Every structure is written in C-alpha cells, then in structure tokens.
Amino acid sequence: MRRREFLEWSALGALGAATLARLPRAFGRDHLVVHGGRPQNLATPLEYFDRLVTPSSVFFVRSHFEVPALDRKRRLHLHGLVGRPLDLGMDDLARHKPVTVTAVLQCAGNGRSLHEPRVPGVQWAHGAMGQASWTGVRLRDLLTKAGVSSQARHVHLAGADSPPKPQVPPFHRSIPIERAMDPSTIVAWKMNGEDLGLAHGAPFRLVVPGWSGNHWVKWLSSIEPAAEPETGFFMEKAYRYPKVPGPPGLPVPPEKTDPVTTFPVKSIIARPADGLRTAAGPQEIVGIACSGTAAVAKVEVRVDDGAWAPAKLEGEPGPGLWQVFRFVHDAPPGRHRAAARATDAKGAAQPEQAQWNPSGYFWNGWHTVSWEVA
C-alpha cells in the first residue's frame, strides 16, 4: 500500500475514541475517512467506487465552516435583478413539479494529495466524490417565476453557513446565467430518495451536474441574479485553474486563471484494493469512470505489462454521470498491478500523470493498484 493511501485508511484509527464520539452518527462515522472534524471533511472509502449510487451514509462531506443548525423552515431569498423578488419556504418549493437528476458530485480538490510537488489544502486521496440522485426544482423555473432581468449575466449564491471570524471570507459563489438556466441545474431537497442530510446542505442545496462541488452551494439561502460575477476570496483566489498550465511548482497569478467548472475524465479502481492478497482464479477489476464534459466512451484496463483491453461498462452514459466498469482477469500466482484509463465521448483521454496546478485541482492520472495472488 502506498504511504498516503495507508494514511487515509489509518486516519480513523489514529483518532481517539473521544474525537470519534463527537462525530454525529448521521455523518457516517463508522465508514467515512476523516480528513478533519472541524470543518467537516470526510472521504468516501475506495471500496464504494464499485456501484452506481454512493449510499448517503458514506457520501463524502466537504464543508469550509461549521455546519449551520438544521432549519427546515429556512427561507430562500430570490432577489437582485428580478421583476418580482421571491421569499420561498420548503412548501413553496415543493409546489413545483419535482425533477430528479443523477449526477456525480466531485470536489475540485479530489486527488490533491496525489499531485507532486505537494500543494496545500485538504489532502484528499480519491474519496471526495460520489454519485447520487438529487430531487428538487429546476433553478430555471424559480428564476423565470421571479422574472429574471435580461441584464443578469450571473447568479450569486449564498448559504446559511458563516465564517468563524469576521476576517475569514464567506463562502459566496456565483455561476453564469447560462449555467443557472440549464435544465440540469436544480435546487435539491432530496438525495437518493430521502430528505437531504444536514451535512449535505439541508434543507436545500444547489446541484450543478458536471461541475465541481464548489458550485453546489449547501444550506442555500440566497439566489441573486446580477450583472457581474460574485467577488471575494472563493471566486477570485480559490477555485481557479491556469488558462495555460505551467511547470509543476510554479505559482500562477489569478489573472492568468479561469474558474474551475467541468471536471475532466477519470476512472478509479475500487477492487482489488491496493495491497490485497487474493486466492487464485478469475479476478474482477471494478471501478467507476466519469467526465463532466461528455459521456464516458470507454475504459481500458491493463494488467502488469499486458496490452490495454476494454472493460465492460454498466449504467447510463452521460456528461456528469459515472458508470461502473468491470474487467475479468485470470491472474497467475504472484504480484500483479492493474491500471485503468478512461476516454470520454469528446475524445479526451485520462493522462498517465495528472496536470499539476497550484491548487491541486482535478487530479485525474491513471489509477493503479497492486495485489498478490496466493
């Protein structure tokens, strides 16, 4: 097992019982991998990347600040460049015809710990992603109801969480109006068919399929169409990617960056787990693959120094959706190594080494595992 993976697996063990006891059960303390308890950063264990739906109980959590108190009576204020400001409660939202979309939620920093040289930030391995079904109302329907002005080019979004002290910038975001009006963008109150959990943004959050998690504002309380993008640290400094990626280790000034949006093609092997010992016989190599820009076109697997061979895909193809891949291999006794690489329908192929960038976003190098057949 590689050192950093070992660290991830052992992180729970390293924490004292007292720390674990403080983590509410609903956040899945039995399963999630703890990357910091305050704010809450919890990763989905690799073994769950073998199925189409990530159970809510083990779905990763990424929160910048303390989770706000659960308030099922929270109002959602739709104001700014609109003809008719709206003040919406859960009942008002529920009066709209609900839509359900399945989508991958992936933190832009997923895989950050795998970038070399190392970059600061939460040292995620692979677990800051999951796929769920999300039920809610199209943001477009709310904007249309409020009579959004043609002057609006962006939609500012804020949640009910707040920074621990005034010097810390709030998590305020905006998305372009086109993305807000896209029929896949929804204000969701259900996840996997159940009420959204508090850690995931209850009572309602934004869902922006195909785009990284930083756009999926939780505990949503304000929607404000505006002429200009939102300002502040989380728009101007964080969540930005070099327009032209440069050599590893070099800083890039903000004006030479764009906001991160769609996540690139990647695949992750759930099984065999790295470092595992298995019995002789057919071995299934299984994992998931997705791309924010296009459907997955193929996943190829290579065992040891063999040729790349296509894996079988399960699930529905589409941008922002993940599919499960399976590949059966009959490995003779000894040590083996497998790698997976995905290609999307736009022809983008997963690179062997991910592109380094100063914030360590969008790691998507080939995932390799090694195991031993007895």
CB of 200 to ligand MTE, least distance (A): 4
Q: Which stretch binds Mo ion (CB under 5 A): 68-76, 105-113, 183-191, 271-279?
A: 105-113
Contact status: 119 vs Mo ion (CB under 5 A): no
How many chain residues touch ligand MTE (CB under 6 A)?
Answer: 18
Q: Are strands 367-373 and 277-278 parallel, antiparallel or unpaired?
A: parallel
Q: For residue 283, what are the β-bridge partners?
A: 329
CB of 287 to Mo ion, least distance (A): 21
Identity of the residue numbered 153: R
Q: Closer to ligand MTE at the Cβ: 194 or 305?
A: 194
The C-alpha angle 101, 104, 106, rounded to 5 degrees, equals: 140
Return the residue of 46, 82, 105, 107 that touches Mo ion, per CB under 5 A: 107
Residue 179 backbone phi and psi in degrees, to 5: -70, -35
The Cα 102–Cα 134 span in angstroms is 6
219 binds, among ligand MTE, Mo ion, none (CB under 5 to 8 A by kind): ligand MTE
With beta carbons less than 8 A apart as the criterion, state whether 125 and 5 touch.
yes
Give the residue among 44, 25, 34 at the shortest CA–CA distance from 105.
44
CB of 169 to Mo ion, least distance (A): 15
With beta carbons less than 8 A apart as the criterion, state whether 290 and 322 touch.
yes
Contact status: 302 vs Mo ion (CB under 5 A): no
Q: How many CB atoms lie within 10 A of CB 83?
A: 9
With beta carbons less than 8 A apart as the criterion, state whether 172 and 220 touch.
no
* Contact pattern from residue 17 through residue 56 relative to ligand MTE, giving x for each residue in contact according to CB under 6 A and a dash for the rest: ----------------------------------------
CB of 319 to ligand MTE, least distance (A): 18
Contact status: 218 vs ligand MTE (CB under 6 A): yes
Contact status: 74 vs ligand MTE (CB under 6 A): no
Q: Which stretch binds ligand MTE (CB under 6 A): 60-68, 73-81, 265-273, 342-350?
A: 60-68
Give the residue among 127, 136, 269 at the shortest CA–CA distance from 192.
136
Q: Which stretch binds ligand MTE (CB under 6 A): 59-67, 294-302, 304-312, 347-355?
A: 59-67
Q: Closer to ligand MTE at the Cβ: 218 or 336?
A: 218
Helix, strand, coil share of the chain (percent; to 5): 15, 35, 50
The Cα 293–Cα 263 span in angstroms is 7
Q: Closer to ligand MTE at the Cβ: 159 or 242?
A: 159
88 binds, among Mo ion, ligand MTE, none (CB under 5 to 8 A by kind): none
161 binds, among ligand MTE, Mo ion, none (CB under 5 to 8 A by kind): ligand MTE
217 binds, among ligand MTE, Mo ion, none (CB under 5 to 8 A by kind): ligand MTE
The Cα 146–Cα 78 span in angstroms is 7
The C-alpha angle 340, 344, 346, rounded to 5 degrees, equals: 150
Identity of the residue numbered 204: F
3-state secondary structure of 334: strand
3-8 LR contacts (CB < 8 Å, sep 24+): 4/113, 4/114, 4/123, 4/125, 5/125, 5/274, 8/33, 8/43, 8/125, 8/127
Q: Strand runs (DSSP E) across 11-149, as ranges?
A: 33-34, 41-43, 61-62, 76-78, 86-88, 99-106, 129-138
* Contact pattern from residue 159 through residue 188 relative to ligand MTE, giving x for each residue in contact according to CB under 6 A and a dash for the rest: x-x---------x-----------------
DSSP 17: H
Q: Closer to ligand MTE at the Cβ: 321 or 373?
A: 321
Q: Closer to Mo ion at the Cβ: 110 or 185?
A: 110
Return the residue of 76, 105, 269, 311 that touches ligand MTE, per CB under 6 A: 105
Contact status: 200 vs ligand MTE (CB under 6 A): yes
Binding site residues, ligand MTE, CB under 6 A: 60-64, 105, 107, 159, 161, 171, 199-200, 213-214, 216-219
Binding site residues, Mo ion, CB under 5 A: 62, 107, 213-214
